[in-house]
A and B are shown apart, each in its own frame.
Chain A
């Protein structure tokens, strides 16, 4: 295999393992690593040695992944990104598991509210909030015949803006909660690392690449 081909294979593998990152970050990393390889090769190091010293592409990618996942997600609003970071956090402890569940419940509730508000115009007679003798008997979209004919629907078309608003607020709140939690966890980790200088055991723990 020519050294040019070896380098291409390495970078391709690295790109593949970094595929979860956004395009800019990924291309920046690849550009930097390929500059490293070219510079080192110009100094006369053989391609095999250069790539061996860099370490396997999947390990290099894993070291980037954990650090960036949480820090970029804490500035993101994408539920996918946030939940992925929350899942990563969940593997690290009870706080993370709690954050993950708050995320699951929050997004499910918010999404459900918004969806229900959008279904109302499609099934206007079967979607709403029903009250009978002062008690709530049903809400949401119900199958025909499920609801006692004596119960009456109280919201009418107000159901739509109400549910859309409640849903959006729940989604927004969930997003902010997860972001705040991710940022808090970063602060903890940073503090751990600062303390880690006086207590290397702790620092080492937080720096071991988790693959």
Chain B
């Protein structure tokens, strides 16, 4: 009687399924993640129930609780901010400016910047908020 060793199983099918799943997950995480530069300080946006969905795109101006500023993740002072905003506006006149102010930031640090951006020619300035449940 002759006994034969079984032929080694082909593993190619299982590896292809694994690659499919991993690629799918990779593309999923790359697509749903918005690559935003985070500010070099802590910013917790205020809570609001009437905010609307924020589409991607635009420049983000972060304002810390003590009034420190950062544009697209880069810390800068008030004098530099104007020139940087003017340069951004010259590149794209319809640029959206997202003002991401800490909820404890005093309005004297926030509102003059919104006014300055409007005077500079920004036509779309939004305040970033965290969605809250209806009371």
Specify whether A and B are partners.
no
